[in-house]
Structure 1
Amino acid sequence: MTAGTAIVLFTRDLRVHDHPALATTCAAFDRVVPLYVLDPALAGLSANRTRFLHQALADLRDALRERGGDLVVRRGDPVAETIRLAGEVGATAVALSADVSNHARRRERRLRAECERHRLRLRLFPGLTVVEPGALRPGGGGDHYRVFSPYHRAWAAARWRDELAAPRRIALPDGVRVGRVPAPPAGESPDAATGGERIARQRLTDWLPELGRYDDQHDDMAGDDTSRLSPYLRFGCVSPLSVANRAGDRSGPFVRQVCWRDFYYQVTAAFPEISTAAYRRGATEQWRYDDDALTAWAEGRTGMPIVDAGMRQMRAQGWQHNRARLITAGYLTKHLGQDWRAGVAVFFRWLLDGDVANNSGNWQWVAGTGNDTKPYRGFNPVRQAERYDPAGDYVRRWVPELSAVPGKAIHQPWKLPEDVRRTLDYPPPLSVPGTDPVWLR
């Protein structure tokens, strides 16, 4: 162990278990300063995620205090505050988990330059993914995998890093001002999950007995039997490696979803414009721009029950069932003809798990501008509803105006007799010029 002080700058890795930057730094230095900087540049993007973040920070502080340390909280530019704190505590090194977004990369470049200027050592660590972005390369050349299936084969066969225990003890320098963790603000979604590592680890433990049923149940929209770990993975409240290791079978359907997450991180590392520019070369982008239609979609008032149910769930919980994400995104882009970037923005506002890589990558996949090998595929919302919500219970839960409609008729209320339709406080389907969708016939 080096006699000295180092800073661990937390970003999207709000945990103490399997945290390579924290574990390695605690083993190498006798004094470690865990730091989180509240960045004004990221404030206001999502009230839901701000609440979740502040809850996770409070939980992280508790975990660090249990180990003799604390979480130092500052507000301002993360680079400037890190360098300022290094001067205050006499730190000689800074540790940081590597990330892939444009914002994270700019922060890293600026931090590296400032560390060099102030003669601080900067070291980046893995931890946000199972396999580091860029570690796997396709055999035929190229800097990343463009198609998921060969990436998954390589990912499942790769040697994963060892999972690390939480540090037993963390010693702060004397006299450091720790600052205050902000109280969680009110979010926009009343039923949003609570952030924090303790909740994440307990959720994983409680859900693992359901793992054997995942392949049969994860598309059951009314059953809602998915793990709901995605917000905790997005903020690093639980390590993706820990999740994959505890789930076991690398080729199983659940771990395959963890691999999809890694896949989009390595895509974003190679194509950081993923939120704003079409990934697929030669993608046709001829979008309609209809603010009224976009607003109706965002508020769950399209007149398409399965779509409205998905959007209302997202607004209520800050989360949306994965099958509903495919249906709602497909409806916006392939039926309403709206630009996928508008959908990215709406999801990014509401979703607790909204991040650059997965939110944008999945939207591009659905829109036909991304990594889908069948870019012109569409999702017939009625067929999807009848297959994945056959009794209509998911729709009834989130669109109570239709709760009295019996059976599968709930998925096509526009086909009900006129006298019945007049009793429903529910709009007719949005009309789109030049389209004649088969599900409305």
Structure 2
Amino acid sequence: MGWLAGQRVSRRAVVTLSLLALLPWGLQKAEAASKAKPAPIAPIATAAQASARLGFDLLSQLGKGKGNDPNPVVSPASLTAALAVLDLGASPKFHAALVKTLRLDTVGDSGDLKSLRASLVPLIDGSKADGPLTGISAVYFDPRGGPKPAALDELKQAGVQADVRDLSDAKTIDDINALVKDRTKGLIPTLIDEPLRKGGLVVLNALHFKDDWRTAFDPAQTTQMDFHRIKGGDAKVAMMQSGSGHWLARQDDRFIAVALPYQTKGYDLLLLTTKDKPAALADFAPAASWLTGEGFAESEGTVSLPRLSIKAGADLRGSLDKLGLDPAVRAPDALSGFLTTPQKIDKIIQKVVITVDEKGTEAAAATAVTSRSLAMPATFSFVADKPFLFALRDETSGQVLMAGYIGDAAKAQ
């Protein structure tokens, strides 16, 4: 399964990428903690653990599809930021579903989405973003959906860019994509492919991460090595090689993990693999809680890591329904705090890009939640059973090419 396959490990703890630990959206500083033997997945106790669980569960859902990508990548943080903004207009039932889906239902006080939004300010309010991680969130309301003025005010107070625009206008979609392209430094040029024609909204988040390793890999040491896949045998890949050093690491009889720090304090790339045979994504479940960096301690060793360049994208709606959004997401009043017309959430689109090389990492993600109005459009019945006028028009030039009056249709048969 591509980079979700394990790599044989030597006595010097050479680690090969198996699961990207929510990079960079869940990048957490790996704290040197207890050296006790790790247990199976524990109950969620912190928001960081909820983010790690969301990432693993979402990857697992994506991996269940037929013809699934061997290298799935998701951005829990971009998704969380978008859904946390969506929560500002959610009904009580939909709010509870969002809390469950984000794996915050057992977190206690830290599971409060208001507190979560406050912790995500760098990903929500673009004016306050700083350092290697920057982001922005925005909401675009179609006027036909009946946006509530109070909702616009609340969004702006939360640092969310909010606007009322015609979502059926191609210019509006171009502007949304231009914002995504700008905030992802060109890595994601488009997110929404076509205009939305039924009076809904777009909730958007975009983020960008770029930083160098605290200790760079020497390009001269990068060599072709075997990557041991679950299916299809071994494949040659460009493997970066570190020298011996001290890293925050964790291991047990089956799994081994290491945290590679970036120049900016508080950010790292956490890598987790198996010690023996290659493992499928589902086999990593007992060690999924390691993705928070908890239980890591400083150890001496070396690291071997493939260069990576990955682009991925999917509609996450179906997977998120299985994680807890359904059936609340289908209720007509799900977004009653935002819009006066009943809404149906259509898609939850996410695109991600990541490059990992000898110098460091650059990554971007963008998420868009789109909805449409369920209000019945006005109907009419035009019956030309009496005299009528007609005009054949050229909309581009404004010219009427032909005009006529039919006073007796029987003589025009």
TM tier, smaller: under 0.3
Tell me the TM-score normalised to structure 1 length.
Answer: 0.20
Structure with the largest fraction of strand: 2
Tell me the TM-score normalised to structure 2 length.
Answer: 0.21
- Which structure is larger by alpha-carbon Rg, 1 or 2? 2
